[in-house]
Amino acid sequence: MTAVDKLKDPTVRALLEAVNSGDRAGFLALLTPGAVLSDDGTERNLEEWIDKEVFDSNGRIEVRREEADGRRLLARFRNDTWGEMSTRWAFEVEGDRISRIETGQA
């Protein structure tokens, strides 16, 4: 397991810290304008998805493995709606902001 505060990419690390602390505003501040989220290969409305899957349902991410200098993760994701599941995450980073998030079951 990799502690979130030890992730190599500082922008991804800050995004996961925002998830795990319930900081929606902090999460959104780390995204580029027009950032995209894809869940199991389908693009979603990013703000609706994060509200439903993360912030309104107590979502948390526990990193199992990081790759690609911290921009690809295998993690345990849990929320009050779905419980706990193995997930994969990939992030495209532009400067100090994230432009694309891809997630899905692993």
Residue 38 neighbours by CB distance under 10 Å:
16
Domain count across the chain: 1
Whole-number Å distance between alpha carbons of 63 and 16: 9
Residue 22 — left, alpha, or beta (φ > 0 → left; ψ -120 to 50 → alpha)?
left
Q: Which structural domain, as residue segments, surrounds residue 43?
A: 4-105
Output the pTM of the full model. Answer: 0.94
Q: Express as a percent the part of the chain with pLDDT over 90.
A: 95
Q: Are 53 and 79 in contact (CB under 8 A)?
A: yes
Model confidence at 1: pLDDT above 90: no
Question: What is the radius of gyration, based on Cα positions, of the chain?
Answer: 12
Model confidence at 2: pLDDT above 90: no
**Domain CATH number, residue 85:** 3.10.450.50
pLDDT tens, residue by residue, 25-65: 999 999 999 999 999 999 999 999 999 999 999 999 999 99
Query: What average pLDDT does this structure show over 10-26?
Result: 98
